[in-house]
Chain A
């Protein structure tokens, strides 16, 4: 590489770049909560909502909304990073950890990947280890309230250590897979894993 490129006359605002190195490269902080999705917001009535774990498991499991509310939930506060460059610090959620969900199934030892699938047809793929050890949740509360439909309610995946398109909105289940497959954005040129700290935005990054 040659000399670093400098944009003539650019100083920058840096207002959000300070707090303890919490902004990944190329991100800027926002105070509001932008909405991004590829199509209309699905609205599934809670009495028809279910959440399933299937695929490479001994016996698939499915919860109704009421049953899901009965699972041990936790409150958690995390920073979220969208591939469209915004980062929102200290977002407050309530939901069930994926660890808790997986206690209800016997995983096939071959299972190494997960496809999260959603109302509206959205999918996203994740390596199983990215969902374990308190790193991932199925969240139904945001900032002390039920999660709003435009933000993925009634429930969405929250995997804060990866770009936020991995935190699938309107999630309805997880399919355990032996081999990795591409989800929706991963088939459209976005990175397979999406680690914001490595700036894995697009395929090939």
Chain B
């Protein structure tokens, strides 16, 4: 993508799907669709009648094998200027100004090999989902694990699809941790991601593992530090963060 100017284009909202109480997926038809790399994002720009504009970046959730359109999964933030508009105003058929795909570092495709360890907190799962959907779409059997931390089972985005991907028998394992409330009889992880959890999950994959971590800062810091402590080379760990810094400034 070097030196190719990223032009704004006007997408049409083809569909809107409610994922969880706080997240929706927006399917956008793109007149100038370009194949993306899983992990990349689009910039989205809203313009008011008087010319006032607001921009945000959103990760692509869909696999690049789906031509002509992309899915963006967006969490509604309290008072969110752009996420609030997308959630509460936008309807199918509306048009949106976007440009992308953007970002050449936090990306993975099957040609880069594995094993793959994906660590997600909340809506941080979105760019990782693009990687998993791509892995499935091309029939890859690269060993992969997704460790996904959510507050409650109701907050899990793509829950059914993740179950289906795991049941595909192609070497993907999805491990949930529920930090606030767990289903009855739950025997899995029920705490924030920590070094012990990462050691258990990373060990079977081995030292050649490529790691992608996306989520709130505290989770990303804990996960990256934990994996370095478990002996993984820092150069194998790629991170993407969002949200407040947790007050530590």
Contacts and interface: CB of A to CB of B under 8 A. Distances in A.
Interface of A: 4-14, 17, 25-28, 32-42, 84-85, 120-121, 142-143, 148, 150-151, 184-185, 187-189, 201-205
B206 interface: no
29 contacts: A5-B47, A5-B97, A6-B48, A10-B46, A12-B54, A26-B55, A32-B249, A33-B245, A34-B242, A34-B245, A35-B221, A37-B239, A38-B239, A39-B239, A40-B225, A41-B221, A41-B224, A41-B225, A42-B234, A85-B55, A150-B248, A151-B249, A187-B2, A187-B104, A188-B104, A188-B105, A189-B102, A189-B103, A201-B43
B244 interface: yes
Contacts of A85: 55-57
B87 to A, nearest CB: 12
B187 interface: no
Contacts of B49: 6
B46 A40 contact: no
Nearest to A14: B52
State the majority secondary structure of interface residues on B: mixed
Contacts of A84: 57
A80 to B, nearest CB: 12
Contact of A148 (B5, B235, B243, B248): B248
Contacts of B242: 34
B51 A204 contact: no
User: Which of A11, A42, A151 has the most CB atoms of chain B within a 10 A radius of its CB?
Assistant: A11
B224 A40 contact: yes
A7 B239 contact: no
Interface string B204-232: 00000000000001001100110110000
A10 B56 CA distance: 14
Contacts of B81: 12-13, 28
Taking residues whose C-beta sits less than 8 angstroms from the other chain, chain B's interface range is: 35 or more
A13 B237 CA distance: 37
B176 interface: no
A205 B47 CA distance: 19
Contacts of B228: 40
Contacts of A7: 46-48, 85, 94-97
B106 interface: yes
Contact of A204 (B5, B85, B106): B5
Nearest to B49: A6
A130 B182 CA distance: 53
A203 B2 contact: yes
A187 B48 CA distance: 34
B10 interface: yes
A34 B241 contact: yes
Contacts of A6: 47-49
